[in-house]
Amino acid sequence: MPGGMTRKTRLALLVAALPPASAAAWALAHPAHAASGWGLAAKLAGVAGLAFLFYGLGWFGLLPRFLARRLTSLVIVLVGASTLVFGALRLAPGDPVDAILGEQAQPEDRARVRKALCLDEPLLVQYNDCFWDEVLDGSLGKTFDVTPRPVVELIADNFPATIELAIAGMLVALLVSLPLGIAAALRHATWVDHLSTAFALAGIAIPAFWLGPMLLLAFTVGLSWLPTPGETDRPLAALLLPAITLGTALAAKLTRMVRSSLLEVLGDEYVVTARAKGLPERVILLKHVLRNALIPVVTVMGIQFGALLTGAIVTEKVFARSGLGTLLLEAIQQRNYPVVQGTVLLIAALYVTVNLMTDVTYAVIDPRVRLDR
């Protein structure tokens, strides 16, 4: 909506102008690094421009405003989250070179490692030349090995296994929570309801790294129904226990959600009306109740998909599966910082993007959301 600038818009303009302006000032003050300084200014200006593009598109009504706002904040959040990862690796106490080589290493070795990790440059140059250039050229840096590989290759090798696990976990959660939650709401205050509440409480409290070994003990060791971790000839059967382990906590949360959401809708006036005009219960449930009751459930599902990605780290360790989690833990043990940084960056970016997509989906299925934002 064009018109006079609001205070918020002016403020947003000011905030967006700050990074490029300060980067330019820095480049002028440090002529030696001017080239990279200007590079940084250009990148920051690009980011600010992108954020503004979305904001402006929404402002002039070319994009739905809720979508424009979400895309603007996605740009800001992605840059912020990446900077957080960069900062954590650089500003954490202790010298990473000590951690890699030990404190007794020769000075020339230390210098070599420092150069390879780009730690011999000023922080801002590291941020621009090493961090952003590696992110933008898509390599996410080179692994810190005898034969360096682009980090992105390692991630690509391990990514499918983690996504497969997360999707399987989500499926398990849905298959358990939908029937259980719906049954609990329809049979409110009966044994089904109590069972669902007990499951919800236990599922949230039981850690995946305990549930996993216990399931293995029961179904693989005790009953010999399912393959042991590492066996590869029955991939689907081997996925079952990890999926249950990863999905249980989410199943618990969703069961609670489905139940309370359904109970709320069941008490609404339009449901009473539908009953009064003699619609069959099945039609009321499928056409009127579930359609409305499941809207908040979709949101929680989306937000929790990100949590499944981080939960996969633990599950992969329990079941000795390959994947991003195993890659990350191995990289941490070997102090392979570029791999750690790249993996964390990717998981964080996925997490943020999935959350955005959830928000947008929510707005599409529930038009009320669009009105109040």
Partner 1 sequence: MNARTWVGLAGVVLLLGCAILAPWIAPYPPEQVNLLRELAPPGGGHWLGTDENGADLLSQILYGARVAAVVGLGTVLLCAVVGTAVGSVSGYFGGAVDEALMRVIDVLMAFPGILLAILLIALTRSPSVTAVVFALSVTGWAGYARLVRGQILSLRERPFVVAARAMGAPAWWIIVRHLVPNVMAPVIVQATFGMAAAILAEAGLSFLGLGPDGVPSWGALLDQGARYFLVSPHLALYPGLAIALSVLAINLLGDALRDAWDPRAEH
Q: Under the rule (CB under 8 A), what is the footprint of partner 1? A: 7-8, 11, 15, 73, 76-77, 80-81, 84-85, 88-89, 92-94, 96, 98-99, 197, 201-202, 204-207, 209-210, 213-214, 216-217, 221, 256, 259-260, 263-264, 306-307, 309-310, 313-314, 317-318, 328-329, 332-333, 340, 344, 347-348, 351-352, 355
Which C-beta is closer to partner 1: that of 34 or that of 78?
A: 78
Residue 7: CB minimum distance to partner 1, A: 8
CB 54 within 8 A of CB 73: no
Which C-beta is closer to partner 1: that of 77 or that of 369?
A: 77
Which C-beta is closer to partner 1: that of 274 or that of 340?
A: 340
Which C-beta is closer to partner 1: that of 50 or that of 279?
A: 50
Residue 129: CB minimum distance to partner 1, A: 21
Residues in the chain, how many? 373
CA-based nearest residue to 82, from 18, 141, 23, 131: 131
Which C-beta is closer to partner 1: that of 65 or that of 317?
A: 317
- From residue 317, how far is each of 84, 244, 340 by CA, in Å? 26, 15, 16
Partners of 142 in beta bridges? 150
Partners of 150 in beta bridges? 142
Side-chain-facing half-sphere of 168: CA atoms under 13 Å: 20
Which C-beta is closer to partner 1: that of 39 or that of 193?
A: 193
Count of CB atoms situated within 10 Å of the CB of 332? 14
CB 284 within 8 A of CB 275: yes
Residue 197: CB minimum distance to partner 1, A: 8
Residue 282: CB minimum distance to partner 1, A: 26
Question: b or e along 11-35 (b: 16 or more beta carbons within 10 Å of the residue's beta carbon)?
Answer: ebeeebeebbeebbebbeeeeebee
Which C-beta is closer to partner 1: that of 92 or that of 364?
A: 92
In degrees rounded to 5, what are phi and psi of residue 142? -110, 145
CB 169 within 8 A of CB 203: no
CB 141 within 8 A of CB 155: no
Residue 219: CB minimum distance to partner 1, A: 13
Residue 82: CB minimum distance to partner 1, A: 10
Instruction: Tell me the C-alpha distance between 80 and 145, whole Å.
Output: 29
Which C-beta is closer to partner 1: that of 27 or that of 166?
A: 166
Residue 195: CB minimum distance to partner 1, A: 15
Residue 293: CB minimum distance to partner 1, A: 13
